[in-house]
A and B are shown apart, each in its own frame.
Chain A
Amino acid sequence: MIVALIIRDARRAYATGGSTLIVAFFLLVATLFPFAIGPDATLLARVGGGVIWAAALLAALLPVERLVGPDLDAGVLDQLAVRGVSMAAVAAAKTCAHWLAFAPPLMLTAVVAAALLDLSAKTLLMIEAGLAIGTPGLAALAVATGALVAGLRGAGAVAGLVMLPLAIPLLIFGAGALQDGSGALKLLAAVSLLLVAGAPFLAGAAIRAGMD
């Protein structure tokens, strides 16, 4: 059931254009920065890595209100619950599906964004390594946030307020890896691992509370 749920959610994200939207938004945000700070290649190269990380974070936030809420409304979570599937397992499956739906396209698009920002191959490599390590944590945080705001009025806006502060450690260590190298990457991995391990339990509890 869990594998079927992962396939269903990931397929739906690609089929309904959710993944395309994330990638387009990511690219748009990354493209806006050169317009805002000017065409100074040295400056762009210096801030470009951070720009890509901020864009990735904002892009990951986009589908948050659609990750859990619609399934709660449609009775999908009720059907899973009566089959004995724990809501923490559902949240873990949704984390996995969300990661599949946004991280690989984002990492591919990061190459284009890096070219637009005139980043070096070494910087791009560090960004890709950081995204590979940090995006599972982002996905877990997104699903937990989606579970917390499911059923709320103005869920999208609330989701931003909940998720962005919690994602700051990922942003700091992800962007920091571009200066500090492997030390920051290790800290990024620790934060990401903590989120992947812990957030599904928080999300599961939030989903159960939302069923009441």
Chain B
Amino acid sequence: MLRFETVAGARGGRLLFEDVSFALGPGDAALVSGPNGVGKSTLVRIAAGLLGAQSGRVTRNGQVALLTEAHALDPERSLGKALGLWIGDRANAALDVLGLGALADAPVRILSTGQRRRAALARVLASDAKIWLLDEPANGLDSGAIEVLETLIAGHRAGGGIALTATHQPVKMIDATVVTLGMMR
């Protein structure tokens, strides 16, 4: 369960959005959209519990997996070992699903932006978390990888998971609650 009740979010003392409400249960998804700078990432961080809401109430039942622009993978380590810090021996299987199995021994620093994004997605996939919070998950991904992303989200929802995706790019999520943020005056 992930519920926002009249939530307002601010960053650096500037109010970005207010009165945002939605409730997601098992199998549900939300698509947070809006132009740059309206607070999509802030909303994701509030959902993850990394930021406090300016006002309103956030209820979160279940473990969270978070995907952000920052991939949190040691650049000097091999991809398999860097990912292993987070998901242990499930790293190789998750990398195979994301088409990165052949790069498990490659240092993270030589990977492209899209490959790092897919590796971070592998971490989400291998987690036991019921709530996936994905901030711009399609950034840097080619069309094939976006299809894989959509399939993974659909599979997660089919298993009773919740997905909240903040993006300005089209990511197909059937029957998703759309949360549109606009510029505050």
Contacts and interface: CB of A to CB of B under 8 A. Distances in A.
A182 to B, nearest CB: 42
A83 B126 CA distance: 13
A105 interface: no
B51 A78 contact: no
A81 B64 CA distance: 10
B85 A4 contact: yes
Interface in A67-116: 73-76, 78-79, 81-84
B50 A74 contact: no
A82 B49 contact: yes
Interface residues of A, number: 17
B171 to A, nearest CB: 20
Given A16-B76, A211-B50, A82 B70 contact: no
A74 B65 contact: no
A81 B49 contact: yes
A79 B123 CA distance: 10
A16 B76 CA distance: 9
A82 B74 contact: no
Contacts of A12: 74, 76
Nearest to B120: A75
B48 to A, nearest CB: 5
A77 B69 CA distance: 13
Question: Contact size class for B?
Answer: 20 to 34
B40 to A, nearest CB: 16
Contacts of B70: 73-75, 78
B79 interface: no
A176 to B, nearest CB: 41
Contacts of B48: 78, 81-82
A15 interface: yes
Given A4-B85, A82-B65, A82-B66, A75 B49 contact: no
Interface string B27-55: 00000000000000000010011111000
Interface string B60-73: 00011110111111
Contacts of B66: 78-79, 82
| Best-buried of A8, A12, A75, A211 by chain B (most CB within 10 Å) | A75
Nearest to A211: B50
B72 A79 contact: yes
A8 B50 contact: no
A84 B50 CA distance: 11
A165 B45 CA distance: 36
A12 B85 CA distance: 13
Given A12-B76, A78-B48, A78-B50, 19 more contacts: A4-B85, A8-B74, A15-B76, A75-B68, A78-B66, A78-B68, A78-B70, A79-B66, A79-B72, A82-B49, A82-B50, A82-B65, A82-B66, A83-B63, A84-B63, A211-B45, A211-B51, A212-B51, A212-B52
Interface of B: 45, 48-52, 63-66, 68-74, 76, 85-86, 123
